[in-house]
Chains A and B, each alone.
Chain A
Amino acid sequence: MAQPLPDWSSMQKELLESIGKRLASGHDVASFRSACSPWRAAVPFATFGPLLLLPFDPDSDTVSFYCVSEKTAFSLTLPDVRGKVPCGSSCGWLVLMDEAASVTLLNPFTGARVGLPPADDHVAAASSWERASKVHGWWFLRSGNISGNALAANAIKLEEMRGVFFHEIVLSAPPDAGRECVAMAVLASSTEVAFCRTGVDSAWTLLDTKLECSVASIVHCQDKFLAIDVTGEISIVFSSNATDATPTATPLPSLSPPSGLCHRSYLESDGELHMVGAMVSTFHDTQEFTYRTMIYKCNLLDRAPEWTRVKDVGDLTLFVSKNFSESFSGTSVSKYKKNIIYFSEPLYGDPFDLAHRLEVADIAAGTSKVKKPFSEKMLGSEALGWIRPNLWKGVSGAIGKYDEKSQTEASPKVTDAPEPAAEVQDAGAVQFKST
């Protein structure tokens, strides 16, 4: 019996896939895929291409995603999400908060977990008009005195947590990539933000952004965090590397957003801050409206920064999220055409429409089409936003309260990686049909 001559390129897909999973870094994966076509097939683009993160139920342990290029949905079983509400998606990691206001970072694709400090009284005081206090490990809202009665205390439910504590948390880098990672939080109704350095700080530090109105979103751009309020005013939050230096906040009151623009999201693209917005035109007599999608970019670091119109983003495709502020751009490839924006939600949704929709905008024309990828309603109705799977570490070594055990043992059970025309997998309560 002669054994076949070793032909590494034609090894079975399963074996190549197993090797692919063990590669040490994104760089190695890129080289691996570029060796020959069977090796490329072992790590298909859908494995690491952008995904739509769908809303999930804290009573289940399933997180679902939709892959636009493959037109398939799939689910991952992640016991860590049970009993928690998502309050951010950043650098490929989910940010989860539970009823005790403790925060966990979870990489849904590797199963890696990092703990962050829980919200404390200071955060609660800064963040909410109402007073929250912790009793026996549970958080309660204290309404003011009611007719002489002592305070009526209501336990804060999980779905209310984001309205009291952290509205959204953004990371400066993946927490296990061997470099410093700072988490910054938008609080519920506050001009202050909270931040902490993963693996270093044991409590959140508050910082006044000096903005006029409450912070609505935070974007990480050019190594700085930008706090942006509802009017579009920006404050640059910068922390130097010295461990004892306090971060500074520099508002830019003279930087006016383009007038008449309803801004939808901000993102870093090509190293610069971009804003994606809609110029809405209403017709008073007919009460109809149309809108034109427009993109602007800003030279933040210049002496007199200003917004300038961008009519062409070149070879890029943009992915803009609505509920979380994780928006990003990338080289157009596969089914994603250049100069196109994928919005996780249409600008104006139809409240009576039960199906989830994506909006796809043509940057040059400014026009949009609304697409309906699923036929079934999703929980909570709106997708959380886009996520870029972060599967391989850049640099070895983990920092932070990193639970090593969780990485090797609690690997998410993937019901199926997205493949062309793959069957939609059923994992737990959520089930999708692709159209």
Chain B
Amino acid sequence: MAAEGEKRGAMEAEGAVEKGGDVAATSEKGEAASAKGKGVVEAKEVAGGKMVILRSSQPEKKRYEVPEAAARLSMLIGEMLDGDCANDDGIVIPVTARTLDTVVEYCSKHFEATKSNSDPFVAAATKSDPNPSAEASVGGGVNTAASENLEDWDRKLVDRLSMDDLYDVIHAANFLDIKGLLDVVYQRVADMIKGKTPEEIRATFNIANDFTLEEEAELCQQCAWIFDAE
């Protein structure tokens, strides 16, 4: 088991990690991982082999049970599952429960969407929707009365995040390598920048101006080269 673990992405383990007969953890995503702190790679397949347990970081260790296909929207989790790590009670993701709530919600929703798309009965029933979106068609799980456009759903998901939450979700999505979620959060940030002056951007993101006067002058000169900057 240990040998397989080395190629697969996993969280960086600083300090002792005990797991019965377990994996050596080497992270391919070193940059985010070290900042986020320690975690342990564990994957457990519940009876039936279809659900995966995820846990948020210490101390809460909130437990989430998600379909494996949903969890696999995270390339990192997918690699860990493929690495077939030994059992314990769930994969610990080094993010807070608040952040993981959003991530799990995203993954579950998108999993539901692909599921209903491939289910011939549901797909046929929802086929009349005239609004094709880039994502796997018409949203909702079996339960929603009105079918929602998945893109709109994504946008609403991130729109309600506070600045701090958004920051955390970006790092979590990057660390977990969930491309779709990353696209959505990056787009939110780009939308927050749209049309703003540098001062307004600094206010929104709580950034300090660290340029000298000369640097600001050079910035002006450089930015004059940007096509259609006016």
Contact = CB atoms under 8 A, between A and B. Distances in A.
Contact of B225 (A6, A14, A22, A49): A49
Contacts of A23: 190, 193-194
A29 interface: yes
B186 A22 contact: yes
Nearest to A23: B190
Most buried by B among A11, A34, A91: A34
Interface in A1-54: 1, 3-4, 6, 8-9, 11-12, 14-15, 18-19, 22-37, 39-40, 45, 48-50
A22 B226 contact: no
B229 A27 contact: yes
Interface stretch (A347-355, A370-378, A388-396): A388-396
B196 interface: yes
A22 B187 contact: yes
Interface string B48-84: 0000000001110000000000000000000000000
Interface size classification for chain B:
35 or more
Contacts of B163: 6
Contacts of B194: 23-25, 28
Interface in A375-411: 388-394
Interface residues of A, number: 51
Contact of B229 (A24, A26, A50): A26
Contacts of B193: 19, 23, 28, 31-32
A390 B228 CA distance: 8
Given A3-B168, A15-B174, A18-B186, A333 B222 contact: yes
Interface SS of chain A: loop
A115 to B, nearest CB: 22
Interface string B216-229: 10111111111111
B201 to A, nearest CB: 5
Nearest to B162: A6
A37 B219 CA distance: 10
Contacts of A39: 207
B196 A48 contact: no
B197 interface: yes
Most buried by A among B32, B57, B207: B207
Given A35-B205, A36-B210, A330 B167 contact: no
B195 A33 contact: no
A331 B221 contact: yes
A333 B32 contact: no
A47 to B, nearest CB: 9
A269 to B, nearest CB: 13
Interface SS of chain B: helix
B130 interface: no
Contacts of B32: 12
A139 B227 CA distance: 37
A287 interface: no
A393 B225 contact: no
Given A22-B186, A27-B230, A28-B190, A36 B225 contact: no
Interface string B83-121: 000000000001110000000000000000000000000
B208 A34 contact: no
Contacts of B227: 26, 48, 91-92, 174, 388-392, 394
Contact of B219 (A14, A33, A391): A33
B31 interface: yes
A334 B215 CA distance: 11
Given A3-B96, A8-B206, A15-B170, A388 B225 contact: yes
A26 B228 contact: yes
Nearest to B192: A19
B226 A29 contact: yes
A346 to B, nearest CB: 25
A177 interface: yes
B164 interface: yes
B182 A34 contact: no
Most buried by B among A35, A45, A393: A35
B192 to A, nearest CB: 10
Contacts of A9: 205, 207-208, 210
Contacts of B57: 1
B19 interface: no
Interface string A307-324: 000000001000000000
Interface stretch (B2-10, B20-28, B35-43, B152-160): B35-43
A373 to B, nearest CB: 20
A6 B195 contact: no
Contact of B224 (A22, A177, A330): A330
A3 B95 contact: yes
B224 to A, nearest CB: 4
A32 B211 CA distance: 13
Most buried by B among A1, A12, A388: A1
Given A36-B207, A40-B219, A45 B225 contact: yes
A6 to B, nearest CB: 4
Given A33-B223, A37-B211, 10 more contacts: A1-B37, A3-B36, A19-B193, A27-B230, A29-B226, A32-B201, A36-B202, A48-B227, A391-B227, A393-B228
Interface of A: 1, 3-4, 6, 8-9, 11-12, 14-15, 18-19, 22-37, 39-40, 45, 48-50, 91-92, 174, 177, 315, 330-334, 388-394
Interface of B: 31-32, 35-38, 57-59, 94-96, 163-164, 167-168, 170-171, 174, 182, 186-187, 189-190, 193-198, 200-202, 205-211, 215-216, 218-230
8 contacts: A8-B206, A9-B208, A15-B170, A22-B189, A33-B222, A36-B208, A315-B221, A390-B228
A-B CB proximity, top 10 nearest = A394-B228, A6-B167, A333-B221, A34-B198, A30-B223, A26-B229, A8-B205, A22-B190, A26-B228, A1-B37
